[in-house]
Amino acid sequence: MLKWERGEAAPTIKTLETIADSYKRPLAVLYLSEPPSEPATPPDFRTLASETPLPLTLKTLLSIRKARRFLSIVSDLREEGVKVKLAELPVLDLGGDAEKIAVGERECLGVTADMQRRFADPGEALTGLISLVEGVEICVFQQSMPVEETRAFSLTDGDIPAVVLNLKDSPRARLFSLFHEYAHIRLKNGGICGAMEDVGARSAGHLNIEQFCNRFAGAFLVPEYVLRDLVAKAGRVREWTDELLGGFASHFKVSSEVVLRRLVILGYASPGLYAAKRAEWARRPPKPPPKWGPSPAQRCLSERGTTFVNLALDALGKGGISHSDIADYLGIRLKHLGEVESLVRRKGIVRHG
């Protein structure tokens, strides 16, 4: 390396590729005369027990950088002539009624109670509802990050908004995070978020935003009128058992904790019961990860989202980018490109407007 710096030798392309991979940077960055400027870290909305922010580890910082690169690629594709229709969505009113606003957003996205009931499982619900969010031109990415550090984050400081979910979370948890971050985007106030009900807060303003986003996500996924109907059909409930809560949760494809929180808000359960149940659930060992992971094509679509992948495929088809480019953009070998195209065709693109 000293010889490189003195101009006595030059690294090979293979060596530069290895260095770029180690530093998690595009190869082109190594040819710059000086390091590129880093955008500011998104606002920290994680609720904390103290005023001192918890430091973000390298894993999360790399996820933020990766998401910004994906958005940069989407912007470049738009400039190259690939059409990206950005929906003109009005900014939500932070002082408004989150319950009523959630009902309106369900109608906007086309989410119905029957649709939620018909999803086979939380994974299918997550995939289906992500497609609807992508349909209003919000990019949805999924990456692995430390769950104890962040559950999700959203980016609203560019011309294209994005939600980034944590792949280490369960599909039920990611579903709640999806609409929590959706609310952040509609408030034009993206940031890094933690668990649903952690105590403490960075500031009163942040607490109000997090309370609104939590209330919105719960009301969106578990509408008041549907939950009241289920409670009425259950008859007189003497005790909110895990079995009963689990049944309600399966109906909406959310966690039992989300259901119980909604029952507390609507006056069917006490805050004390919620606190006790939450502590009980926290003591249970986590479920083991699945033995089989996704294929490279499935991972590509999950991490980058249908909007991103479809734009890249469209650009390739129109000759705007090369096969080498698309392999880089999608993070796959070219032999997996056919499977990616097949998955996109099966999923389809949901458009609005």
- pLDDT value of residue 351: 35
Cβ count near 185 (within 10 Å): 22
Give the span between the Cα atoms of 342 and 339, in whole angstroms. 5
Give the span between the Cα atoms of 132 and 128, in whole angstroms. 7
- pLDDT value of residue 349: 46
Give the span between the Cα atoms of 248 and 309, in whole angstroms. 35
Assess whether 138 and 252 both reside in one domain: no
Last-in-domain residue among 215, 250, 275: 215
- pLDDT value of residue 346: 82
Q: How far is CA 114 from CA 49, 174, 257, in A?
A: 40, 21, 22
Last-in-domain residue among 160, 189, 215: 215
Last-in-domain residue among 215, 234, 261: 215
Residue 11 lies in a domain: no
Assess whether 129 and 62 both reside in one domain: yes
- pLDDT value of residue 84: 58
Give how far the C-alpha of residue 73 lies from the chain's centroid of Cα atoms, to the nearest Å: 18
For 293, counting Cβ atoms within 10 Å of its Cβ (0-12 exposed, 13-18 middle, 19+ buried), the class is exposed
Tell me phi and psi for residue 261, to 5 degrees.
Answer: -60, -40
Residue 188 lies in a domain: yes
Residue 22 lies in a domain: no
Tell me phi and psi for residue 78, to 5 degrees.
Answer: -65, -40
- Cβ 93 vs Cβ 312: under 8 Å: no
Specify whether the backbone of 170 is left (phi greater than 0), alpha (psi in -120 to 50) or beta.
beta
- pLDDT value of residue 205: 59
- pLDDT value of residue 287: 80
Assess whether 94 and 208 both reside in one domain: yes
Cα–Cα nearest to 164, from 91, 253, 63, 74: 63
Assess whether 119 and 199 both reside in one domain: yes
Tell me phi and psi for residue 135, to 5 degrees.
Answer: -65, -20
Assess whether 115 and 140 both reside in one domain: yes
Assess whether 307 and 324 both reside in one domain: yes
- CA torsion sign for 253, 257, 258, 261 is positive
Assess whether 130 and 165 both reside in one domain: yes
Instruction: To the nearest 10°, report the CA torsion of 175, 353, 351, 103.
Output: 20
Tens of each residue's pLDDT in the chain, 353 residues: 777 777 777 888 888 778 777 776 777 777 777 777 778 888 888 764 445 557 889 999 999 999 999 999 998 887 666 665 656 778 899 999 999 999 999 999 999 999 999 999 999 999 999 999 999 989 999 999 998 889 999 999 888 899 999 999 999 999 999 999 999 999 999 999 887 654 334 455 565 898 999 999 999 999 999 999 999 999 888 899 999 999 999 999 999 999 999 999 999 999 999 999 999 998 988 888 777 788 999 999 999 999 899 999 999 998 999 999 999 999 999 999 999 999 988 876 433 33
Give the span between the Cα atoms of 166 and 64, in whole angstroms. 12
Assess whether 66 and 131 both reside in one domain: yes
Residue 153 forms beta bridges with which residues? 164, 192
Name the strands in the sheet holding 162-166, side by side, starting at the edge strand that comes first in the sequence: 139-143, 162-166, 152-155, 192-193
Residue 49 lies in a domain: no
Structural domains in the chain (count): 3
Residue 271 lies in a domain: yes
Residue 19 lies in a domain: no
- pLDDT value of residue 190: 93
Assess whether 71 and 196 both reside in one domain: yes
The token duo for 66 is 């990766």
Assess whether 91 and 231 both reside in one domain: no
Assess whether 78 and 209 both reside in one domain: yes
Domain boundaries, position 69: 58-215
Assess whether 63 and 180 both reside in one domain: yes
- Cβ 131 vs Cβ 241: under 8 Å: no
Residue 317 lies in a domain: yes
- Cβ 190 vs Cβ 161: under 8 Å: yes
Cα–Cα nearest to 303, from 125, 147, 200, 168: 168
- Cβ 297 vs Cβ 339: under 8 Å: yes
Residue 324 lies in a domain: yes
